[in-house]
Each structure stands twice: as structure tokens, then as C-alpha cells.
Amino acid sequence: MSVNPFEGMLASPAMVALFDDNAIIDAMFRFEAALARAQAEAGLIPREAASAITGVCKAELYDTAEIVSASRRAGSLAIPVVKKLTETVGLFDVEAAGYVHWGSTSQDVIDTAMVLQTRRAVGLIDASLQALIGHLLALAERHEQTPMLGRTLMQPAVPVSFGFKVIAWVAPLVRARARLAEAARAGLQLQLGGAVGTLSSMGDKADEVVRRVAAELELAVAPSAWHTQRDSWAVLGCEVGVLCGSLGKIGRDLSLMVQAEVGELAEPSGKGRGGSSAMPHKRNPVSSMIALSASFRAPQRVATLLATMPQEHERGLGDWQAELADWPGLFIAAHGALLALEEAMGGLEVDAARMLKNIDALNGLVYAEGASLALAEAIGRKQAFALLETLSRQVVTSGRHLRELVIEAVEADAALKSRFARERIESWFDARLAVSAAARITRQNLAALRATV
């Protein structure tokens, strides 16, 4: 599979290679070889024919570019593959050539080849997910109590810890890993049904052949052919799409936090990473960019999988082919994003001092909720909220710190002054104390998440 340079920039070479012309055609030959061996063992075709067939089921013996070119006219990649295989077998054994692809159909060989390559693709994704999860869990542990701004609707809310934010990044990835494994178990099944899914041409040997092919390829045996029943297959693709969305969420937050005006995080730099063709000072967040790009492109490919599910009768026309065309792109995008974020998180620079500075720059406004709830013990929630709302407006107009204004308001009220000592009021504006709940949640989730990986 070739990709254009713009997609190549966002992809991983390892994943692209799994779905290139040679890899897919080689997987198709693996199916044909397994089929011939299984049929010979079952007594359906001569052993000599199976030996002749399997001896030339090697992609390197063929001009794969020519096969792919011929597939456009044929309407199926399987047709030129089987034709070339038959011709090659016939060069050595004319009788054996008649047993090539015996009782099978184009969709059997193509779907099974895609299952074989997708299994390897899921393995790549799982390994990279595990590595990224490891980096994130280590970050969360190191920054369990590091205060930073929580932000809602793109505005400062109340302080949280950076570990709390990282846990929110990693938890969906842990869940995604488990769901992908389950979806792979259900979706990565042998496809072998023959012309209409009944394998009638193999007679009473059909079940044995299916079991033998599945055993050789180490694939699950489906209850029946799933030529036009794409639900389990589509679920696997959808899970990859959801993973891309979760990676995009990390990329979005990371891109916002590395902005120079915020300056709380920085992606690794050096060796030409994230530079600019015009501005020497630039340090662009390329990992965030790649993760976001995957999240932008995945929904359209998932939509294709879902849109092509109502396939016609026992073999789809156009819908199956559209699904095949978009399938590799999902995995290529997901793995590219995973590798990019794995690199970023492995060398992420965390500026804890800047995180605290960004809190302090708001003159205590982010502590207004806590102060209001504390004062509500004495004057009720409604009155406390109104007081803090008024004092917050004064912070904005005067530039004074909310702590000072609250202390003044309490000391001006005899009832309040008797209830709240100055030291207690000052504790309401302590960043470390303010993130204690976030730190506790981080600890709890760290233990739970580590137990799953």
C-alpha cells in the first residue's frame, strides 16, 4: 500500500507496510496454501496437487504491481491472484492447476488476508498503547499533587493536579486496550464459505477443511461465513476509531498547554523536530498535530464501515469494496498517533512552577467556590455565594487578591470573625490543599489502572 506524502507524514512505516501490496498478496497466498493443505489432508484433492500449489504460494515469485493493476479491470484483487497462481502451478503440474482455489471464492481469500494483516495491526497498536499507558501512569504518579488550573469552557475553573489530568487521559486508553482485545477476539475469524457461504462444493469435507485452515492460520472458526454479515468486523474498526478520538483528546489538551502563553508543558525538541521554515524560534507541537489529525480522519472511515453494512444478499456490490479501501487507513492513522504521543510523553517537559504561576496570576479567583462553601457554614449558601460573587468582581476591577478581600469582609462582620480565624481563611487559598481531592482521586485511579496493565 502506498500513501501520499501528506499521509506518510502522519503514519507509521510499520503499519503502512502491513497493508502494502506485497503484504496483502502474501497473506492471500498464505490462505491459498493453507486451503490446499487442508483439502489434501481431508482427502478432497490429491496430496501431489497440494504440494504443487503450496510450493509457489509466495508473493516474491510474482509481479504484485501487475496483479494490483489487473485487479481494477477484474473488479477483485483475488481474480488476478488466483489466475497467476493457477498459471504458475500449471507450469509444473497441469493437473494440480485444476485444484487451485478449489471450492473457495474471492471474498474468502481477501477477507482472510485482511484478517491476518489486521491481527498483526492490532498487535502493533496494542504494543504502542501499552508503552504510551506506561509513560502516562508514570507521569500521573510523579505529578499526583502538582497543582495546575482546571479549565472548563476554555476558562479557569478550580485547581486540580496535573496527575488528575493525566489520569483522565490514560483511563480511556486502558479501556480502549481491553475493548480492542475483545473486539479482535470476536472479529478476527476465518472467512471460508465458497460461492454463497455454504461450502457445498466441498460436500461432507467442508467442516474438516474449515477447521484445518483455521488451525494452520491460527484463526477462530466462525459459526458460518460472514461475507455480508460485517457486524463483528465493523465493531473492531469502530473501536479503532474511538481510540483515535481518545488520542485526539490528549493531543488537544497537550496542544493547548504547550502554547507559549500557557507554557505548562513542552513536547521534546531537537533533531529538527517541530521547527519552522521561516521562524527560527518556533517549537511546534508535532505529536499533538499527528494525534489530532488521526482524530479528524477516523470518523469518516468509521462512517464508511457503518454505511457499508447493509450489503446485498450473499455478496455485496461496491459496499464491501469501499470498506476494504478505508479499512487500512484507520489503523495507519491510529498507530501514527500512538507513536507520536508515545514519543511526546516519553520526553515531556512539565513546568510545575509555571502551572502554579498561572494559578497565582488569577489573584485567588479560582478559590472562590471553596471559600463560598466554607462561609456557607455560617451564613448559608445563597448569601455566601452572593458575597463571593461581589468580592470576585472587586478582584477584577481592583487587581487585589481575593484572599485579602475575604479576610477584610470576615473581619468586618463580628459574627463571621468569631467563626473563622485568619489562618483558616488563608488555608482556603493554598494550592496544595486545594488539589487534595484531585490527588486522592489520582491515587485511587492509579492503583486501579496499574492493576489492569
For 310, the 3-state DSSP assignment is coil
276 is catalytic: yes
Residue 315's CB is within 10 A of a number of other CB atoms, namely 16
| DSSP type of residue 158 | E
177 is catalytic: no
Cell numbers at 314, concatenated: 450473499
Residue 11's nearest CA partner among 248, 294, 233 is 294
**Helix or strand (DSSP H, E) at 157:** strand 155-161
What is the spatial distance between Cα 352 and Cα 161, in angstroms, rounded to a whole number? 10
**Structural contact between residues 246 and 317, judged by C-beta atoms closer than 8 angstroms:** no
| 261 Cβ contact list (under 8 Å, min separation 6) | none
| DSSP type of residue 277 | S
Question: What does the H/E/C string look like for 36-61?
Answer: HHHHHHCCCCCHHHHHHHHHCCCHHH
Cell numbers at 138, concatenated: 508514570
Cell numbers at 432, concatenated: 496544595
Residue 218's nearest CA partner among 189, 247, 175 is 189
Catalytic residue (one of 252, 273, 315, 400): 315
Q: Directed axis angle between helix 78-92 and helix 21-41, to 10°?
A: 60
Catalytic residue (one of 69, 200, 224, 276): 276
Residue 408's CB is within 10 A of a number of other CB atoms, namely 13
| 9 Cβ contact list (under 8 Å, min separation 6) | none
Active site residues: 276, 315
